[in-house]
Structure 1
């Protein structure tokens, strides 16, 4: 006999689980259905290479989790989740001269940057000092203007992010300072010329100097485990290994929330969607894919710059012009020979991820959407470029091509784990031009994935906002429930 529920959530990534615990906190009977055998989506952790080496499958470093209003309300520390902050937030290697290094302290970072330091600090200081107002605005549904101090902070942000990224970088007048921002901006894959990469660059860099680029002890799975434990404590249930092919397969429920891509919405909802809405979902654009390469190492990476050995994150690619050229190649549907490579070394703060004296290394680079090419040789070369002797330390690799990422997690269409191209249009109308972006024309059906506002990142806010829409529209509950530990 099928048990009816108040709400069913399809997908157990951080957004789906955030939606589920919020609905459960309102006293609703909630069930989460997950296609994989373990919950977490892109926030799973596992021994991917060798026994004793714990890797984050997709997401690894979490500035958004530390700053997210949802996770602050959820109170991760009270639930035993340790967010560990590296001494060096991130580093940017260059072939010649000193490397760019970002510390938590903005002024200390500026001092290390030499000629470009004063301009770097002047650019970021207003956003760092008012990060408490900036983050809620950036992680909102972008459907109403911020009030009070948030309005001034938003205006300051707009003045900075309203420039294209090349204009911002050229204004710094220093390769190290420009490299730091360029490496962060390329977290938004594709051509580095629009407003979106500039916005990503200034917001995430400001977070490095305010909340920190933190790493969960024991891997990103720690975030997922805390969410699942809370859901169950509130009476919710989780079913894994159950891929949904049609809405009709779900238990009867007043509300269904989908933590899936627009392509999956079309597959699951089928002909139930009005033709115009379905057509709009089909027009949704996906961005470049990623090829992930995880390493088990016999020792820490021998970066040429001593400070980089204490960095949680590194952005490899050389000068900002080299990074822009590599990303332009990918946007044009080609594989860059010297790709931009994003690197995390969690062992600098969480040595328990590997046996004593050894290390794990997390990397990925952008590739054309749907790519089946294993580009680990290019990733190897970029790491070796800045850390001679790296290849000698490699004990094992685990590679997932973009196509394999998509096969393992259908939400990552073509290996795009940002779940959509980061363009200005798709920031403001994500996934379709609609005032309430988390609702659909079907009564009781909602979308809570990263394909909705406020977009990608491990912050849970897409799920939180979608749950609010469902509570208001379907259940007549207008006050958001507390998700704090009971």
Structure 2
């Protein structure tokens, strides 16, 4: 019979911690078992290049960390978490040195777009207005929405491909490129059904909350979560690789912040052969090749708007971005990839020695690729910021294998816990009424391989913990 613990969480990513906090809030006794020496999954900060230069190894900008219906109600500021809000949520430069900026102010953003100003307002004004009604449903499993009409209106805009949406709403190619920057976070071809949804959610969150990041490093977000968890009475066990559930203390429930491939390797779980076979068909998405730089000065972007943004999307034409995201799914790459850049130190001097700076970037690549893409990444940034290469003091590179070694959940470099196409957007890891439960009544999945998928929002863990409460601790609900 269970003894010391009511529930045990395996994995200390943001979803695992969210599940543990939720169960502790309900008065249960939990413990997190983490295989690494440092908790946090992909949300960690290290000195990757030179002493004194703090780099986010995985997640760097956390818009959904603030927008999360669960995280935003936690008293994380009491544990030292401080959010940094750049003037520009994200910017998108063009070859002529100009750029579009996404401001929290919707009207200010739209005013840059010329003939597309009214269309941008028509697209986003209802989404920003209804965000509080949409947020819980968008960041949860498929079900009957709390607010059906706003959700249905969102779905009509979100279900098309990003290309279909921009061609319907916008006339100017630059506006289309601007939207592509946020839509490409999906790691899907922009001609895929529902790829528009990612651009809509991320851009709307920018207009609602900005795209903030934690002062001092993303690892401080993890630290605040864990400090709160410990104060609630939770326990954290590090350097504890779990290969057999029977090696863990007895508990009513075990919540795995793991992807399907790793979960199937855990011994002692009572899974049917059919369930195992269905889980084996789970699809992983494209990987990433990531770089970090120690810099002598900020990235010298030609556009002042880019210099005021913590996130910069680099892809100079509609065709360039479309081709970049299409080719990786055909196991190919291009010399002009779409690049996601994060620059923290212009807004947070605590991350580097005085007068020095850091930068972070990645591109999407075929899953499992070991090719070195550092030259093409730096070439793309150089196009938007001539002289960038001259500012580099040191660099760190991580291919898909390096990323998976850093965090085993990043299978083949997939940062979303599995492909987020229409077949796995809501029905992940498999199609079933409860995506968080398994055939073993003790075992649950709480990773980004469950709805709502990738991102530092903790909602996969929250919803998994709610299922545990319903199944085993109904009297506490």
Say whether the fold is shared (TM-score over 0.5).
Answer: yes
Find out whether 1:152 has 2:138 as its counterpart: no
* Counterpart in the other structure of 1:482: none
* Counterpart in the other structure of 1:161: 158
* Counterpart in the other structure of 2:457: 459
* Counterpart in the other structure of 1:442: 440
Tell me if structure 1 keeps the 8 A contact 2:85–2:210. yes
Tell me if structure 1 keeps the 8 A contact 2:159–2:195. no
CA positional deviation for 1:269: 4.1
Partner Cα separation in structure 2 for residue 421 and residue 307 of structure 1: 32
* Counterpart in the other structure of 1:281: 279
Partner Cα separation in structure 2 for residue 54 and residue 363 of structure 1: 14
1:192 paired residue among 190, 195, 199:
190
Partner Cα separation in structure 1 for residue 156 and residue 40 of structure 2: 37
Can you give the 5+ residue segments of structure 2 that lack an aligned partner in the other structure?
none
* Counterpart in the other structure of 1:13: 13
Tell me if structure 2 keeps the 8 A contact 1:93–1:386. yes
* Counterpart in the other structure of 2:27: 27
CA positional deviation for 1:157: 1.0
* Counterpart in the other structure of 2:408: 410
Find out whether 1:384 has 2:382 as its counterpart: yes
Partner Cα separation in structure 1 for residue 269 and residue 106 of structure 2: 53
Can you give the 5+ residue segments of structure 1 that lack an aligned partner in the other structure?
480-486
Tell me if structure 2 keeps the 8 A contact 1:88–1:102. yes
* Counterpart in the other structure of 2:399: 401
1:211 paired residue among 202, 209, 212:
209
Coordinate RMSD, CA, aligned? 1.5
Tell me if structure 2 keeps the 8 A contact 1:62–1:213. yes
Partner Cα separation in structure 2 for residue 390 and residue 419 of structure 1: 33
Find out whether 1:175 has 2:173 as its counterpart: yes
Tell me if structure 2 keeps the 8 A contact 1:35–1:243. yes
Cα 1:166–1:466 shift into 2, 3 Å: same
Structure 1, 262-271 or 419-428: larger mean CA deviation: 262-271
* Counterpart in the other structure of 2:420: 422
Helix, strand or coil: the match of 1:117?
helix
Mapping 1:124-139, distance limit 5 Å: 124-139=124-139
Tell me if structure 2 keeps the 8 A contact 1:92–1:176. no
Superposed CA deviations along residues 80-138 of structure 1, whole A, max 9, x for unmatched, are 31111110110111113631211110111111122222211211110011211121121
Tell me if structure 2 keeps the 8 A contact 1:126–1:156. no
CA positional deviation for 1:4: 4.1
Helix, strand or coil: the match of 2:209?
coil
* Counterpart in the other structure of 1:73: 73
Mapping 1:208-247, distance limit 5 Å: 208-247=206-245
CA positional deviation for 1:155: 2.0
Superposed CA deviations along residues 201-260 of structure 1, whole A, max 9, x for unmatched, are 011101111111111111111111111112211222111111111212211111100001
Superposed CA deviations along residues 316-353 of structure 1, whole A, max 9, x for unmatched, are 11122210101111010112221111111112321211
Partner Cα separation in structure 1 for residue 73 and residue 445 of structure 2: 22
Tell me if structure 1 keeps the 8 A contact 2:160–2:195. no
1:321 paired residue among 319, 322, 344:
319
CA positional deviation for 1:270: 6.3
Mapping 1:42-53, distance limit 5 Å: 42-53=42-53
* Counterpart in the other structure of 1:483: none
* Counterpart in the other structure of 2:123: 123
Partner Cα separation in structure 1 for residue 458 and residue 352 of structure 2: 28
* Counterpart in the other structure of 2:87: 87
* Counterpart in the other structure of 1:484: none
* Counterpart in the other structure of 1:293: 291
Find out whether 1:341 has 2:361 as its counterpart: no
Partner Cα separation in structure 2 for residue 155 and residue 347 of structure 1: 41
Helix, strand or coil: the match of 1:185?
helix
Superposed CA deviations along residues 28-87 of structure 1, whole A, max 9, x for unmatched, are 221111111100001001111111111111111111111111112213334431111110
Question: How many residue pairs end up in the alignment?
Answer: 475
Helix, strand or coil: the match of 1:209?
helix
Partner Cα separation in structure 2 for residue 75 and residue 195 of structure 1: 38
CA positional deviation for 1:406: 1.1
TM superposition score normalised by structure 1: 0.95
CA positional deviation for 1:195: 2.9
Tell me if structure 2 keeps the 8 A contact 1:86–1:348. no
Partner Cα separation in structure 1 for residue 282 and residue 423 of structure 2: 10
Partner Cα separation in structure 1 for residue 346 and residue 88 of structure 2: 10
Partner Cα separation in structure 2 for residue 251 and residue 375 of structure 1: 45
